Chain A
Amino acid sequence: MESAADRRNGAVPPGANAPAASIVAPPADTVALDALFRDSNIGETLDRLDRELVGLAPVKRRIREIAAFLLVSRAREQIGLSTGAPGLHMCFTGNPGTGKTTVAMRMAALLHGMGYLRKGHLVSVTRDDLVGQYIGHTAPKTKEVLKKAMGGVLFIDEAYYLYRPENERDYGQEAIEILLQVMENQRDDLVVILAGYKDRMEAFFRSNPGMSSRIAHHVDFPDYDDEELFAIAALMLDSMHYRLSASAQDALHEYVALRRAQPHFANARSMRNALDRARLRHAKRLFEERETPLSRDALMTIEAEDIRASRVFASAGEPQ
């Protein structure tokens, strides 16, 4: 058994941080990028990203670019070409429901696979989780969140709310400063992903150049078009073991087009909410006909009326 003294003498490298033993081996002349790719298991994660997320072509392309860059950085490191650790903090911009949180979780898995994160979990927070109500409250709150996120990704939704220039005593500034410090000094311990609307995030970066300079990768999430929203809804239904009758499919197509024009439209999230309500109406309809025996088919099938009862059809054009 190795003793503590052996370890202190360097018999065993203090490699708890290093993801693979090969990284501390002496620099070689060639490096098998493919082996590195296979060992990291990121192929599977990238394929799942392609398969399980509808649309998002530009986002998927950017994620593959970032993954390739980080894998090559690993390879360069193995061969002794040091450029310093690559920056990992990111910014995801886009409207609500465009998949930012979902992709951030996949990103955490990718970074874990490549050994850039020790655990690969995601801690999702907003301003209220970081900023306190009175003097001395903010620092412990922010630090507690940071400690929970260590080993994984800290996802800060609507990060620009941290900065409130209209109130010069706002405690958000204190949270930003603690974040900056940890983003700089503990880059091995966690990755920060900021998320929010594109224009507001740009304004936030203009007033917080320190934050801007620490973000290495910007990914923009486009809105989904009608076909993509329909496909997302179909995917969600499928995963819940529901299906749409032919007339319900027509109704959902119409729904998508109408819903987009109405207030508080939130892309894929609006689809999820619409389906939740359709399932309630489906259940209510079955319950009202409970004297007749139910087939498996009836239990699974959403009918057009379950969708058309939505007030989106009734109030098309007028405020809700």
Chain B
Amino acid sequence: MRITQGTFSFLPDLTDEEIRAQIEYALSQGWACAVEYTDDPHPRNTFWEMWGPPLFDLKDAAGVLVEVVACRAAQPESYVKVTAFDSTLGFETTRLSFIVQRPPAEAGFALDRIEGAGRSQRYAMRRKDADGKRR
């Protein structure tokens, strides 16, 4: 199952040149980039592992790409994303986030129907990979 989340999630995967261009854009806006990875891309999991501290005071995308390359090499089975944080008063939040690596075998999800009180139906997403194993 092709996981889509973050900016550009419905486009084909970004090439490295496109990733560089996006990072350049983020830096030109004064945002600080960070690299994060996870083996749990559930949409409710907002806490991915940080690949080192956020990269402050960078002028050029090359510094972020160094970390993207290092993270991919160390975590070949993980999802990796780049985030860009805007510290401007009033924003103080992530302004941009996009996937820069997905594992060879992607995660799968199943939708469960759950009976609630008073015959109400609720739904939950459950991790269920192609090999049938739950994780």
Which A residues have a C-beta under 8 Å from some C-beta of B? 4-5, 7-8, 14, 16, 118-119, 121, 140, 143, 146-148, 150-152, 186, 189-190
> Which of B12, B17, B58, B64 meets A16, CB within 8 Å?
B17
Q: Are B60 and A150 in contact (CB under 8 A)?
A: yes
Q: Are A119 and B20 in contact (CB under 8 A)?
A: no
Closest to A188 in B: B62
B66 — which chain A residues lie within 8 A by C-beta? 143, 147, 150
CB distance from B12 to the nearest CB of A (A): 5
Q: Are A14 and B58 in contact (CB under 8 A)?
A: no
Number of A-B residue pairs at CB separation under 8 A: 51
**Within the assembled complex, what's the spacing in Å between the Cα atoms of A8 and B18?**
10
- Size of the B side of the interface (Cβ < 8 Å), in residues, is 20
Closest to B16 in A: A14
Q: Are A186 and B12 in contact (CB under 8 A)?
A: no
CB distance from A310 to the nearest CB of B (A): 39
> Which of B18, B52, B58 meets A150, CB within 8 Å?
B58
Q: Are B18 and A4 in contact (CB under 8 A)?
A: yes
B57 — which chain A residues lie within 8 A by C-beta? 148
Which of B48-79 touch A at CB < 8 Å? 52, 55, 57-60, 62-64, 66-67
Please encode chain B, from 15 to 29, with 1 for each CB lying within 8 Å of some chain A CB and 0 for all others: 101101100100000
Asked whether any CB of chain A lies closer than 8 Å to the CB of B14, the reply is: yes
Closest 9 CB pairs of A and B: A151-B60, A147-B63, A150-B62, A189-B62, A14-B17, A150-B60, A150-B63, A119-B59, A151-B59
**Within the assembled complex, what's the spacing in Å between the Cα atoms of A190 and B20?**
16
Asked whether any CB of chain A lies closer than 8 Å to the CB of B11, the reply is: yes
A8 — which chain B residues lie within 8 A by C-beta? 15
B15 — which chain A residues lie within 8 A by C-beta? 4, 7-8, 14
A151 — which chain B residues lie within 8 A by C-beta? 59-60, 62-63
Closest to B24 in A: A16
B60 — which chain A residues lie within 8 A by C-beta? 118-119, 150-152, 189
Could you name 23 residue pairs across A and B whose Cβ atoms are closer than 8 Å? A4-B12, A4-B14, A4-B15, A5-B12, A7-B15, A7-B17, A14-B15, A14-B17, A16-B17, A16-B20, A118-B60, A119-B59, A121-B59, A140-B52, A143-B66, A146-B63, A147-B62, A147-B66, A147-B67, A148-B57, A150-B66, A152-B59, A189-B62
**Within the assembled complex, what's the spacing in Å between the Cα atoms of A46 and B20?**
32
A4 — which chain B residues lie within 8 A by C-beta? 11-12, 14-15, 18
**Within the assembled complex, what's the spacing in Å between the Cα atoms of A14 and B14?**
13
CB distance from A141 to the nearest CB of B (A): 12
B24 — which chain A residues lie within 8 A by C-beta? 16
CB distance from B75 to the nearest CB of A (A): 18
**Within the assembled complex, what's the spacing in Å between the Cα atoms of A16 and B18?**
9
**Within the assembled complex, what's the spacing in Å between the Cα atoms of A118 and B28?**
13
Q: Are A147 and B55 in contact (CB under 8 A)?
A: yes
B18 — which chain A residues lie within 8 A by C-beta? 4, 7
A190 — which chain B residues lie within 8 A by C-beta? 62
B14 — which chain A residues lie within 8 A by C-beta? 4
